Every structure is written in structure tokens, then in C-alpha cells.
């Protein structure tokens, strides 16, 4: 078996956040940063950025055959997970899926959303730009929420991080929940 060494990838990724439904960069612009007017760079990350796709299949079986005769997809989840290294109030707000920010001379403040469980959450979009075999690989999560716990740990010997697990959600019958494009 031959190995194409240019297909081996390693390196960090950059995360951007936009509003749900924000105009996505064209596939032809995969090697350029998304427009700052609609996409915000989330800053440094630690321990990498990971895309995970989990698929659950139910098993089809019959008495007459000992092997699985088929499978049906019954559930699909995808997440983009990292630890945000810049422990800003803006990143804390993203990890809590919104809230109220204020600022004045010499200060910034943040209050989390405290609403009823029937309130629709503030979905957002995420772009993950990393390396691909031919250059940049861009992954766009179109309808995301942080579904993991948020914590800020202040310790003597470790950096304070904001762990996030952005979970993708169904968009529509004609818009896929995520899109991947590689630069050639």
C-alpha cells in the first residue's frame, strides 16, 4: 500500500462563532478567514478542537439467519469540542448560550440567562478552520448550542479554561446541520 504523505494532517484549528443563519463564506473562500462583520474569532484553544459524529443503528434480525441482516440509522449526533483558552466574559457568554453583557468606564459585566424551560435557546453557528490534505479544511456547524457544563477553575498551577461542547441540531429538510469543505 502506498502512502500519500500530503494527506497526513496535524495542527491546531481556529473557531469562529456567528449568529444562527449567518451568511456562510463561499466554498471558494475556504482559505480566507470568515468576514469579521458576521463571524467572531473565539481566540486561543487548548488541547485541540475535535469534531465528533455519533451514529446509532438499530439491528434488523430474523430467526433463520445468525448474522445481522441489516441496520437502520435511529439517531445521529455531532459535536465540536474544545477548551477556550481565553477566559473572557464573551467566551463565558458563549459557553452559557447567551446572557446580558454591559460595560462602562473601566468595567465589563455579564449576567446569565435565567428564563423558563419553555424558552427557545439562542442557537448559533460555528466555523472550525483547521488543516486538510490540500490546505485548509473548514467545518461549518449551522445550528449549535453548548450542551456541556461550564466551569471556571482558578488554580495555582493551571491555566483557567472554558470547556465547551457545541452540539449540532437539525436545521431543515433542505439544509444539512454541518458542511465540510477542503481547499485543493
Cα separation, 30 vs 26, in Å, equals 7
Listed by start position, the domains of the chain span 12-24+32-182
Length of the chain: 184
Separation between Cα atoms, residue 49 and residue 175, nearest integer Å? 24
Q: Give percent of the chain above pLDDT 70.
A: 100
pTM for the complete prediction? 0.90
> For the segment 8-46, what is each residue's pLDDT rounded down to a tens digit?
999 999 999 999 999 999 999 999 999 999 999 999 999
Tens-digit pLDDT profile for residues 88-104: 999 999 999 998 889 99
Least confident window among 74-78, 150-154, 168-172: 150-154
* Residue 82, pLDDT score: 97
- The pLDDT of 110-122, averaged and rounded, is 83
Amino acid at each position: 500500500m502506498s502512502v500519500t504523505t500530503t494527506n497526513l494532517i496535524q495542527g491546531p484549528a481556529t473557531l469562529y462563532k456567528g449568529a444562527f443563519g449567518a451568511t456562510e463564506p463561499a466554498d471558494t473562500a475556504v482559505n480566507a478567514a470568515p468576514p469579521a462583520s458576521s463571524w467572531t474569532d473565539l481566540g486561543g484553544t487548548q488541547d485541540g478542537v475535535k469534531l465528533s459524529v455519533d451514529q446509532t443503528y438499530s439491528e434488523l434480525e430474523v430467526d433463520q439467519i445468525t448474522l445481522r441482516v441489516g441496520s437502520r440509522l435511529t439517531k445521529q449526533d455531532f459535536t465540536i469540542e474544545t477548551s477556550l483558552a481565553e477566559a473572557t466574559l464573551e467566551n463565558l457568554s458563549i459557553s452559557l448560550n447567551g446572557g446580558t453583557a454591559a460595560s462602562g468606564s473601566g468595567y465589563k459585566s455579564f449576567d446569565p440567562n435565567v428564563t423558563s424551560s419553555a424558552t427557545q435557546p439562542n442557537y448559533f453557528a460555528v466555523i472550525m478552520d483547521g488543516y486538510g490534505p490540500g490546505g485548509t479544511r473548514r467545518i461549518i456547524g449551522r445550528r449549535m448550542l453548548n450542551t456541556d457544563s461550564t466551569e471556571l477553575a482558578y488554580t495555582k498551577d493551571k491555566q483557567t479554561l472554558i470547556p465547551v461542547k457545541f452540539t449540532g441540531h437539525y436545521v431543515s429538510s433542505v439544509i444539512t446541520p454541518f458542511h465540510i469543505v477542503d481547499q485543493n
